[in-house]
Amino acid sequence: MIRIGIAGGAGYTAGELVRLLVNHPKVEIKSIASSSFKGKTVSAVHQDLIGVDLQFAKTIDFDIDVLFLCMGHGKSRTFLEENTIPSSVKIIDLSHDFRLKKSDKINGRSFIYGLPETNKEGIVKSSNIANPGCFATAIQEALLPLAANGWLENEVHINAITGSTGAGQKPSETTHFSWRNSNVSVYKAFEHQHLAEIGETLVQLHQGETSELNFIPVRGNFTRGIFATLYTKTDRSTEEIEETYKTYFKEHPFVHISEQPIHLKQVVNTNNVILHLEKIGNKLLITSIIDNLIKGASGQAIQNMNLMFGLDETTGLKLKASNF
Query: Is residue 117 located within the same domain as residue 163?
Result: no
Q: What is the pLDDT of residues 239-254, one digit of tens each?
A: 999 999 999 999 999 9
Q: Identify the bridge partners of residue 106 per DSSP, sorted by sequence position.
A: 109
Sequence-distant (6+) residues with CB within 8 A of 318 are none
Q: Are residues 143 and 266 in the same domain?
A: yes
- 8-state DSSP, 191: T
Query: Is there a single domain that holds both residue 94 and residue 209?
Result: no
**Do residues 71 and 139 share a domain?**
no
Assess if residue 22 is contained within a domain: yes
Query: What residue type is assigned to position 207 of the chain?
Result: Q
Residue 299: give its domain's CATH number.
3.40.50.720
| Per-residue pLDDT at 58 | 84
pLDDT confidence of residue 36: 83
Q: Is residue 175 part of a domain?
A: yes
The pTM (predicted TM-score) of the whole model is 0.94
Query: What residues of the chain score a pLDDT lower than 50?
Result: none
Structural domain range at position 53: 2-132+295-308
248 and 283: one domain? yes
Coil/strand/helix, residue 89 = coil
Residues 106, 167 within the same domain: no
State whether 113 and 164 are in the same domain: no
Q: Cα(310)–Cα(198) distance, rounded to whole angstroms? A: 27
How many residues are given for the chain?
Answer: 324
| Residue 320 domain flag | no
Residue 80 lies in a domain: yes
Helix (H, G, I), strand (E, B) or coil at 106: strand
Do 11 and 125 belong to one domain?
Answer: yes
Q: What value, to the nearest 5°, has the Cα angle with vertex 314 and ends 123 and 47?
A: 105
Residue 318 lies in a domain: no
144 and 111 fall within a common domain: no
pLDDT reported for residue 103? 87
| 323: in domain | no
The pLDDT of residue 72: 84
Q: Residue 170: what pLDDT?
A: 61
* HSE-up (13 A, CA, CB side) for residue 269: 8
268-309 pLDDT tens trace: 999 999 999 999 999 999 999 999 999 999 999 999 999 999
- Total domains, the chain: 2
**Is residue 313 assigned to a domain?**
no
Q: Which residues are catalytic?
A: 134
Residue 61 domain-assigned (yes or no): yes
Query: Helices (DSSP H) in 101-133: which residue ranges?
Result: 116-125
DSSP secondary structure letter of residue 168: -
Q: Cβ distance 255 to 283 under 8 Å?
A: no
